[in-house]
Amino acid sequence: MLRIFNLNNIDKNYKKLVIFIILSWLALWFSIDTYVNFIQIKDLKKSIIPLFNDIRVFIAFSTIFISTTLILYLVLKKKLRIFNKTNYILILLLLYFFLQIIGLKTNSEKDFNIRNLYLIVLAIGSLNIFLIVNLLELTKILKFILYLSITLLALFLIFLIFRKIILSEYSFYIDLHSLIHPEEKFLNRELPRVTGVSRMLAVINIVLIIFLEFNTKLKSILLLILAVFFSSMIWGMQSRGTILCFFISLLIICFYLKNLNFKKSLYLFFILSFLPAIIFENLRPIIFKKNYEYYKKVELEKKKQEILNNESKQLSTKEKIPIRVFEEKTTSGRLIIWKTLIDLYEKNRFFGYGPQADRFLLKWTEEANRFSSNASNGVIYAFVCGGYLAAFIIILIYIKTFSYIYFFFKKNYLKKMHIFVKISIIFLIFFSIRSLVENSFTLFSVDFLLFLLSITIIENFIKKNKI
């Protein structure tokens, strides 16, 4: 990590500022999945955990206040022109979040307070970091911030895995889809669901595969084995959204990022995609032996009942384990939720209902009880939160993002770029696809931080190289 970034390469006048930027970025990462609680002193006798969560938010808010003050100073006092120095998508995202603030203000059924605005504050604080980086031309630190973010994700995944091992929580049913129980908590906060865990694992695996260059035999073998193992876990978690995003990213890495001929690219894609699925499916009866035996018993009882109702059917003792990716024919209620949100939206509301409007609109509905209160689509989430203009802004961001991606494909720059730029391009593809079936980067989250960082790297790369 120290080789990636050296403070001696930075102007001495900005060294303290760079340290502040890195600490602010860390504070934002540690504020993920928090909420403004304002713990009372009397409650400390019961537990100190709520205070710890409040401190996480307070530190992040403090850095945001400082960064906002600094930006105002640079613009008003130093006369730096923010529109000339800043990237296009940062301005669009800033406008997008301000529209959500207006939406909350015009929503008479929700209080206009910090409890309902904290996600917007954290998102704007994230934007502040890259506004400062662009205004002061500190783009050298972007590579370090990217690898720091990936390291944080990896450490969190290691923590989750060891926590499962220590607590011996092996209620995985017959795959890894039940790895994290929906109501499982740590530090009074819900752990990410398996869709989020599989997303994080896919992000780490993408980075490993991009680093896989086949230039050192031992290193290449170790990375390949690790990547196959992670791919097997991703398949085992059976999150269709993650699998789709990962497979498309993998296709691009194998056939466009690697300096391999078509035949070798095809082999690599097979080894990293289909082979892990085959390995997991063959090992599944062994890994989940106890659960599998119980599953077979339940299924045989069902078959016996069917035979009683229909004598022509034959009883089979060799019940196949279902594969959720293929067996699940529904969209997990997404189409119903999208239609419900659009129907519930008052069409004369121009600015939407404010942050997390999907939960607000679906709160008392049957759809929320059956499925979830999550919009599970970036454009629809933007629409209900910020209104028509917010949805239009997200569509503009899609268009601009895909124009960058298309440019790199058209000019055949992908194989020539630095690894951290390659990672950024693949992240943009991954999260853009994911936002079609999840809220993803349209609200403050892991997806948002990585998307924001990646788009800043790409826009600065294009500007610097004048391409």
Same domain membership, residue 214 and residue 278: yes
Predicted confidence at residue 333, as pLDDT, reads 80
Q: Is the per-residue pLDDT at 111 higher than 60?
A: yes
Least confident of 180-184, 217-221, 297-301, 315-319: 315-319
Q: What average pLDDT does this structure show over 37-43?
A: 54
169 and 234 housed in the same domain? no
Q: Are residues 199 and 283 in the same domain?
A: yes
CA–CA dist 323, 60 (Å, integer): 42
Q: Does residue 148 sit in the same domain as residue 225?
A: no
pLDDT digits (tens, 9 = 90+) for 223-233: 999 999 999 99
Rounded to an integer, the average pLDDT of 360-380 is 85
Residues 25 and 142 in one domain: yes
Please report whether residue 352 resides in a domain: no
Do 273 and 412 share a domain, yes or no? no
- Over 90: is that where the pLDDT of 305 sits? no
Question: Among the three residues 287, 305, 337, which one is the final residue of a domain in this structure?
Answer: 287
List pLDDT tens digits, range 159-176.
887 777 666 555 556 667
pLDDT at 299 over 80: no
Asked whether residue 251 is domain-assigned, the answer is yes
Would you say residue 337 lies in a domain? no
Judgement on whether residues 170 and 21 belong to the same structural domain of the protein: yes
On whether the CB atoms of residues 390 and 382 are closer than 8 A, the answer is: yes
Share of the chain above pLDDT 70, in %: 79
Residue 347 has pLDDT above 70, yes or no: yes
How does DSSP classify residue 113?
S
Tell whether 342 is covered by a domain. Answer: no
Give kind and range of the element (H or E) at residue 386.
helix 378-410
Let me know if residue 317 belongs to a domain.
no
Counting the structural domains of the chain, the total is: 2
466: three-class secondary structure by DSSP: coil
What local confidence, expressed as pLDDT, does residue 41 receive?
47
Tabulate helix, strand, coil % of the chain (nearest 5): 70, 0, 30
Q: According to the model, what pLDDT value does residue 291 have? A: 63
Predicted pLDDT of residue 38? 59
pLDDT of residue 98: 97
Q: What is the pLDDT of residues 204-254, one digit of tens each?
A: 999 999 999 888 788 889 999 999 999 999 998 888 899 999 999 999 999
Phi first, then psi, for residue 86 (nearest 5°) are -100, 155
Kindly report the average pLDDT of the chain as a whole number. 84
The H or E element that residue 185 is part of is strand 185-186
Confidence of residue 370 (pLDDT cuts 50, 70, 90): confident
Of the three residues 252, 269, 287, the one that is the final residue of a domain is 287
Confidence class for position 325, pLDDT limits 50, 70, 90: low
Alpha helices (runs of H) in 175-323, residue ranges in sequence order: 194-211, 217-237, 240-252, 262-272, 274-287, 289-309
Tens of pLDDT, residues 54-78: 888 889 999 999 999 999 998 888 7
Question: Domain residues for 63?
Answer: 7-174+366-465
Q: Select the more confidently predicted residue: 29 or 179.
A: 29
Residues 34 and 134 in one domain: yes
Which of 160, 253, 164, 167 is closest to 199 using CA atoms? 160
Amino acid 285: pLDDT: 76
Once rounded to an integer, what is the mean pLDDT over residues 276-292? Answer: 79
454: confidence class by pLDDT, cuts 50, 70, 90: very high
| Strand partners of residue 189 | 186
Mark which of 287, 320, 338 sits at the end of a domain: 287
- How many residues belong to the chain? 467
Would 253 be classed as within a structural domain? yes
Please, which pLDDT band fits residue 315 given cuts at 50, 70 and 90? very low
Residue 279, pLDDT score: 93
Among the listed residues 65, 60, 130, the one whose alpha carbon sits nearest the alpha carbon of residue 92:
130
What separation in angstroms does the CA of 248 have from each of 211, 224, 322?
18, 18, 24
Report pLDDT for 143: 94
Same domain, 145 and 203: no
Burial of 165 (0-12, 13-18, 19+ CB in 10 A): exposed
Q: Which residues pair with 185 in a beta bridge?
A: 190
Any domain includes 237: yes
Q: Are residues 152 and 76 in the same domain?
A: yes
State the pLDDT confidence band at 283, using cuts at 50, 70 and 90: confident
Alpha carbon 342 to its chain's center: 24
Res 171: pLDDT: 53
Question: Domain for residue 304, yes or no?
Answer: no
pLDDT digits (tens, 9 = 90+) for 129-145: 999 999 888 988 999 99
Please give the Cα distance from 447 to 449 (Å, whole number): 6
Mean pLDDT for the stretch of residues 97-111: 95
Statement to judge: residues 165 and 272 lie in one domain: no
Contact 87, 330 (CB under 8 A): no
120 and 199 fall within a common domain: no
